[in-house]
Amino acid sequence: MGIINLSEITPGMVLAADLRNNDGRFLLSKGSKVASKDIRIFKIWGVIEADIEGVTQNDVEEKVISHLEPAIVEAVEKKVRKHFVHTNLEDPVIYELFRCCKIRTVKAIKTKDSVEILNMQDLTSSNEIEDTIVEGTAPPVNPVELIKQDINLPTLPTVFMQINDTIQNPTSSAIDIAKVIGNDINLSAKLLKIVNSAFYGFPNKIDTLTRAVTILGTKQLSTLAMGINILTAFNNIPDCLIDMKSFWMHSIACGTISRIIANYQGFQNTERLFLAGLIHDIGRLVLYNYTPINARNAIQKAKNNDRLLYELEHETMNCDHTTIGALLLKKWKLPKSLENAVRYHHSPKNSRDPLEPAIVHLADIMTIALGIGSSGERLVPPLEPEAWKCIGLSPNILSLMIDQLDNQLEEILRVFNLNES
Ligand SMILES: [Fe+2]
Ligand SMILES: [Fe+2]
């Protein structure tokens, strides 16, 4: 018997122990043969794993890779291991993420030629820059001075500030927020598309903003609207050192995973975590635009030496994108919780309120591991054990969260014209 992730349980498997969900609700007794309808019920009740007779997680893994040539499996393993070089593979959480990435890559491979492709390409997608480091680097960055300048990034539309005021005003009503958002036709259309997508999975179509506000709640809808605003405003800034499309894919995936984790944590306003994940690396846009020589050297050194960009930012500029991002959010007068999540997403244990930074930290690591877009970081950063403890979930939840991400991401990317096809 063995604990198997729900995503790998198939009809016909037999339960080795009574199955209950997280809240202790009894679902199916020991010895029962699992049927398709049971799997649907397990999903509804948030079951993440089950004890199954005669199968282990390793057996499941073996089955997926058994039909492939050993050379392909070996090439995949090598490639994924290289991607995880800065992580501790003995940590069960990281190992589970590694396993998911390996299986995902294996599943994507159809032919033997893929070995060559794997040997040539990185798992991450980021723009290639010339392989040279510019001599005579620019002076180190003073983040406070940098942020004081009139930053040449797109200005956020007036509606953004109005929504921000409405969120922070406790007397605002659902009608107030629907009115503010309704003034922007583009925003309203995007918002309704997302509300009607798999991101929410509502069974019936929601065709008016007022209805969306009623179903989602004022704060949730406003927070989502702010995220859409930031994305729309920044969507067209010119590619400088990185591919902007890839940057936003990374950001949206990180936001979506953050929201999925927040759901498992029982957060009321999960959109707040979507927004935090969406803007977690926004400081990089400032660095790439304002100190391109330093930023370029940091990216190049990271690439040449297989090091983490985050650490190289410190060495090259004496500050990093988390500080710059947090200062930018302060300048925009965004809620303190967002500033906290952005400032500490690489070091949640340094925050006085570590849960939200820990969620974005994990979501960022998962996004980089899965190779969805890139904000410049090529290798998977290490997971803070304290952050995982703070989140307090079973490692087996990772594969389920990845399934949920796959289910939701495509439609959101399509709303912003960021889908691959
Ligand atoms: Fe980051
Ligand atoms: Fe990131």
For the stretch 323-369, pLDDT in tens is 989 988 888 888 899 999 999 999 999 999 999 999 999 999 999 99
CA of 248 to the centre of ligand 1 (A): 13
Q: What is the mean pLDDT of each run of 10 residues along the chain (421 residues)?
A: 76 90 82 90 80 75 73 86 96 94 79 55 48 59 67 70 80 82 87 87 84 84 86 71 87 94 88 93 86 85 92 87 90 89 97 97 97 93 96 89 86 79 53
> Max CA-CA distance within the chain?
70
- For ligand 2, a single-atom ion, the residues with CB < 5 A are 281, 364, 375
Distance from the alpha carbon of residue 280 to the mean position of ligand 2, in angstroms = 6
Q: Are 173 and 218 in contact (CB under 8 A)?
A: yes
**Domain extents for the chain?**
1-63, 68-123, 143-153+237-415
Within 84-134, where are the H helices? 92-108, 114-120
Q: Please tell me the number of the ligand nearest to residue 323's CA.
A: 1
Give the distance (Å) from ligand 2 centre to CA of residue 67.
Answer: 35
- For residue 308, report the distance from its CA to the centre of ligand 1, in Å: 11
Q: Is 322 helix (H, G, I), strand (E, B) or coil?
A: helix
How far apart CA 221 and CA 213 sit, in angstroms, is: 6
Task: State pLDDT tens for residues 236-260.
Answer: 666 767 788 899 899 999 999 999 9
Do 195 and 246 contact (CB within 8 A), yes or no? no
As residues whose CB is below 5 A from the ion ligand 1, the structure lists 281
Cα 395 to ligand 1 centre (Å): 22
- Confidence (pLDDT) at 383: 97
Q: How far is the CA of 411 from the centre of ligand 2 (A)?
A: 21
Report the separation in Å between the CA atom of 196 and the middle of ligand 2, taken as the mean of its atom positions.
Answer: 27
Please tell me the CATH superfamily of domain 143-153+237-415, with its number: Hypothetical protein af1432 (1.10.3210.10)
pLDDT of residue 123: 47
Which ligand has the minimum distance to the alpha carbon of residue 369? 2
**Residue 380's pLDDT is what?**
97
Residues 6+ apart with CB under 8 A from 192: 206, 207, 209, 212
Q: Looking up tokens 């939701």, which residue turns up?
A: 408
Alpha helices in 207-320 (DSSP H): 209-216, 218-234, 244-264, 270-278, 282-290, 292-304, 309-317
* Ligand with minimal distance to 346 CA: 1
Cross-strand pairs, 3: 51
Ligand 1: centre distance to CA 358 (Å): 12
CATH H-level superfamily of 1-63: Molybdopterin biosynthesis moea protein, domain 2 (3.90.105.10)
- Distance of CA 210 from the midpoint of ligand 2 (Å): 34
